[in-house]
């Protein structure tokens, strides 16, 4: 599956993207969403590599952006502005202006002060901005607390008990057009129950809105569908059939209503690996450390959220031994895994950290004055 002979000539560490996996994933998402006419906006924050974005755009997806830089990256990759949505709890004026100048599809707004600013900036341009309200549905996604976003203490969204006030306010903001509601309850959800609860919550909310005479053209359920980090090869393509079926079964869409999703991780997670070389195998007093030339500067998820990535030694078929796998960065948190089994490892072996296509390359930093990693693609390496 990995072209290891080619890897030997390349400077490690680097990201390797399997375009066959990405294309198959995209075919699956579009086919499964297409059954119900669902609209898919890829969450650019998961991976904004230009080639990755271009392949996603070619498959017909829209883009979900959370910054002006992401809007620009999406436009540069050829996404139509009519398929771009813009979310985020803190949008700067220049970012809002960039969205307005490009007539993006929708601003997902999170507070009254934000709505006031979008209204004012739109008025200055004699435009009417389409907005959706990001509602905090108060559902605990039971994922890591850094990636739970739908509970009340969270900084994201408008709480349910404030919705009336926001709707009253919107009536006076004449340069805004309310076109929908937006939700996003967390990330890396593998249990489908929170999504079922979300559907039920939105059904109730629509009934309340009927009483106020508010009907909305768009409902956006955000992203959050998880991938299998333990056994990537068994589930290279996430089960989008099951995921969309949940919404089709549990959400009562109004006639003519358009339904949107913003998957990030589930689209790009499994197509990417971080490829790195073993610098040293160091024998501690009671354990062995594999020291890699990649650290949290290239892949921060383990240090940041205790995330697990499957680690494979591509150079060794010997029997396994137990190692801690660490990076070279001068921080104790620079550890990829503790006490894992790897085929017996030595200096120079090539190691793959799997399922690193999402929140990998895009989160790389230059801490310790390191270089940002290169990216290579299976069809052009």
Which residues of the chain form contacts with ligand PLP (CB under 6 A)?
43, 45-46, 64, 66, 87, 184, 187, 222-225, 262-266, 358
Helix, strand, coil distribution of the chain in percent, nearest 5: 35, 25, 40
- Give the integer Cα–Cα distance in Å for 206 and 195: 16
Nearer to ligand PLP, 251 or 323 (CB): 251
- Give the integer Cα–Cα distance in Å for 220 and 132: 9
Q: Which residues of 16-54 are buried (b: 16+ CB within 10 A; e: fewer)?
A: bbbeebbbebbebbeebbeeeebbbbbbbbbbbbebbbe
Nearer to ligand PLP, 83 or 265 (CB): 265
Confirm if 290 and 324 have CB atoms less than 8 A apart. yes
Nearer to ligand PLP, 197 or 265 (CB): 265
- Give the integer Cα–Cα distance in Å for 297 and 36: 41
Shortest distance in whole angstroms from residue 222 CB to ligand PLP: 4
Shortest distance in whole angstroms from residue 174 CB to ligand PLP: 27
| 183 alpha carbon, distance to own chain's centre | 14
Nearer to ligand PLP, 108 or 313 (CB): 108
- Of residues 219, 259, 33, 39, the one with CA closest to residue 137: 219
Shortest distance in whole angstroms from residue 32 CB to ligand PLP: 15
Can you say whether the dihedral through the CA atoms of 47, 51, 56, 57 is positive or negative? Answer: positive
Shortest distance in whole angstroms from residue 328 CB to ligand PLP: 28
Shortest distance in whole angstroms from residue 46 CB to ligand PLP: 5
The residues, ordered by sequence, that sit 6+ positions from 205 with a Cβ below 8 Å of its Cβ are 135, 137, 160, 163, 181
Nearer to ligand PLP, 98 or 268 (CB): 268
Shortest distance in whole angstroms from residue 141 CB to ligand PLP: 10
Nearer to ligand PLP, 180 or 224 (CB): 224
């Amino acid at each position: 599956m990995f072209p290891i002979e080619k890897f030997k000539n390349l400077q490690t560490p680097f990201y390797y993207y399997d375009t066959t996996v990405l294309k198959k994933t995209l075919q699956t998402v579009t086919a499964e969403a297409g059954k119900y006419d669902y609209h898919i906006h890829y969450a650019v924050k998961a991976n904004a590599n230009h080639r990755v974005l271009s392949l996603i755009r070619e498959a017909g997806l829209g883009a979900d952006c959370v910054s002006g830089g992401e809007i620009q990256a999406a436009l540069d990759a050829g996404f139509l502005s009519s398929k771009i949505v813009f979310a985020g709890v803190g949008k700067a004026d220049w970012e809002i202006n960039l969205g307005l100048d490009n007539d993006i599809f929708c601003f997902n707004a999170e507070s009254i002060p934000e709505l006031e600013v979008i209204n004012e900036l739109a008025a200055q341009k004699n435009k009417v901005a389409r907005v959706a309200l990001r509602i905090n549905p108060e559902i605990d996604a039971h994922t890591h607390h850094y990636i739970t976003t739908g509970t009340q203490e969270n900084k994201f969204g408008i709480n349910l008990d404030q919705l009336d006030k926001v709707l009253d306010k919107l009536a006076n903001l004449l340069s805004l057009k309310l076109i929908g509601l937006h939700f996003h309850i967390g990330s890396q959800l593998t249990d489908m129950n929170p999504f079922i609860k979300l559907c039920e919550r939105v059904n109730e909310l629509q009934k309340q809105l009927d009483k106020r005479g508010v009907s909305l053209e768009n409902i956006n359920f955000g992203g959050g569908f998880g991938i299998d980090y333990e056994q990537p090869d068994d589930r290279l393509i996430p089960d989008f059939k099951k995921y969309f079926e949940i919404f089709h079964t549990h959400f009562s869409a109004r006639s003519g209503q358009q339904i949107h999703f913003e998957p990030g991780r589930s689209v790009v997670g499994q197509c990417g690996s971080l490829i790195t070389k073993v610098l040293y195998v160091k024998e501690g007093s009671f354990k062995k450390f594999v020291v890699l030339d990649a650290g949290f500067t290239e892949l921060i998820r383990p240090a940041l959220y205790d995330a697990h990535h499957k680690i494979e030694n591509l150079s060794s078929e010997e029997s396994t031994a137990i190692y801690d796998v660490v990076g070279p960065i001068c921080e104790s948190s620079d550890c990829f895994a503790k006490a894992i089994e790897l085929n017996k490892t030595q200096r120079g072996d090539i190691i793959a950290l799997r399922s690193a296509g999402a929140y990998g390359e895009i989160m790389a930093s230059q801490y310790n004055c390191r270089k940002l990693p290169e990216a290579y693609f299976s069809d052009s390496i």
